[in-house]
Amino acid sequence: MTPFLLPELREETVVLCPGATLLRGFALAQSDDLVAILPNLTAQSPFRQMVTKGGHLMSVAMTNCGALGWVSDRKGYRYAACDPAHGRPWPALPDLFRDLAQGAANDAGFPGFSPDVCLINRYEPGTRLALHQDRDERDFTAPIVSVSLGAPAIFLFGGRERSEKPRRLKLFHGDVVVWGGQARLNFHGILPLKPDQSTILGPQRINLTFRKAG
């Protein structure tokens, strides 16, 4: 599959801090099926670079599936039941996606997770995601489940304050990070994706982020 997933990194659990866990290789066995589903989802709601409320074009291309989808424009950040690009509902959340997210959340100590949105991010060489908090949901009792596919990337995981120096973690194809509880509002981001990383998805990285928004 990908030469960047080293044998010693498979099926390893790393506690980042209370409430945050890295599950190395958790999605690896299902990764081919996860990747195979993506074209159907993105055909219904294609990737696009959204605009921030400050008017800046986001580096990462995004789309969603599920009952709700995260959107950004000059009106601000929010969840919407329909894709603003065409006014139709987002693609349904595939059972495989939901089962994976629930299994990862359970293993990380968050049983009963019921995601209603999956934000799908596409990173190409040079794209990044600045440090931020996921705080557009109605409440913060449910965790965030983040699945990495394709090219490896450096994940930044900080604390509750932006000023806290973030930890740097290299994420590989099939890795899953889960954070909730007292870590639910920790700052996190992705450093610019390096070029010349040939994987099952070519030089790009796909990130599936599962949330309970409604």
C-alpha span between 27 and 149 (Å, rounded): 9
Per-residue pLDDT tens for 22-58? 999 999 999 999 999 999 999 999 999 999 989 999 9
- Does residue 2 belong to any structural domain of this protein? no
Q: Are 158 and 188 in contact (CB under 8 A)?
A: yes
Composition of the chain by helix, strand, coil, percent to 5: 15, 35, 50
Q: Are 145 and 210 in contact (CB under 8 A)?
A: yes
Domains identified in the chain, total number: 1
Q: Where would I find the beta strands (DSSP E) of the chain?
A: 12-17, 20-24, 61-66, 69-73, 76-80, 117-123, 129-132, 144-150, 153-157, 167-171, 176-179, 188-190, 205-211
CATH number of residue 17's parent domain: 2.60.120.590
Please tell me whether residue 1 adopts helix, strand or coil conformation: coil
Report pLDDT for 10: 59
Report pLDDT for 61: 98
Report pLDDT for 139: 87
Report pLDDT for 3: 40
Query: Which parts of the chain register pLDDT below 50?
Result: 1-9
- Does residue 1 belong to any structural domain of this protein? no
Cα first-last separation, the chain: 36
Report pLDDT for 160: 96
CA 154, distance to chain mean position in Å, is 13
C-alpha span between 130 and 172 (Å, rounded): 19
- Domain interval for residue 191: 7-211
C-alpha span between 66 and 120 (Å, rounded): 11
pLDDT above 70 as % of the chain? 95
CA 114, distance to chain mean position in Å, is 16
Report pLDDT for 7: 40
